[in-house]
């Protein structure tokens, strides 16, 4: 009985390795992504806790470059007593992507900055399996004004 279990486990492990190697071999190497965009920022709620001001936020905007189209997100921005901010959000891109076509995909975002100053951080695709074109992307961004940003990173289809 234990010999049968060992053979079954070995066969399962070998099949899993072959599957992983096939996926790795078929995946394209990531390409560079970059561009710019604009946005409208709206505060949807305000509360305070431990000296912090916590904002519910909603943003909508356009994006150009590797990703061309529109996006929207909702999240939280925390204004700390020392003047710094932290942001966590998630949203949806409806875009044309170079080499991938037109698609919709979900993303998450984390950012840091200073009140009334620049914000920088990272956004990345999530839940790619539900998108018509599977997009995998990780991008750094920073604001270049009160309603504009630039981004750069990598992506693959």
pTM of the predicted structure, to 2 decimals? 0.78
Query: How does pLDDT run across 81-135, given as a tens digit for each residue?
Result: 999 999 999 999 999 998 899 988 899 999 999 999 999 999 999 865 665 567 8
Residue 4 has pLDDT above 60, yes or no: no
Domain ranges of the chain: 29-156
CB-based contact 91:63 (threshold 8 Å):
no
Write the CATH number of the domain with boundaries 29-156.
Answer: 2.40.350.10
Give a three-class secondary structure readout of 97-130: ECCCEEEEEEEEEEEEEECCCCEEEEEEEECHHH
The pLDDT tens digits for 54-71 are: 999 999 999 999 999 999
Show the tokens assigned to 84: 């710094």
Tally of residues, the chain: 157
User: Lowest mean pLDDT: which of 19-23, 73-77, 144-148?
Assistant: 19-23
């Amino acid at each position: 009985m234990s010999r049968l279990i060992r053979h079954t486990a070995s066969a399962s492990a070998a099949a899993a390795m072959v599957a992983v190697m096939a996926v790795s071999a078929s995946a394209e190497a990531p390409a560079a992504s970059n561009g710019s965009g604009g946005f409208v920022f709206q505060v949807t709620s305000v509360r305070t806790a431990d000296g912090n001001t916590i904002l519910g936020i909603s943003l909508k905007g356009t994006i150009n470059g590797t990703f061309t189209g529109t996006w929207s997100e909702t999240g939280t921005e925390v204004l700390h007593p020392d003047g710094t901010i932290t942001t966590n959000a998630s949203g949806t891109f409806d875009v044309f992507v170079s080499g991938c076509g037109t698609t919709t995909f979900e993303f998450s975002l984390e950012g840091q900055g200073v009140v009334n100053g620049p914000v920088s951080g990272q956004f990345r695709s999530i839940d790619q399996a539900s998108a018509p074109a599977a997009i995998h992307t990780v991008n750094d961004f920073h604001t270049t004004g009160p309603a504009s940003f630039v981004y750069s990173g990598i992506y693959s289809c």
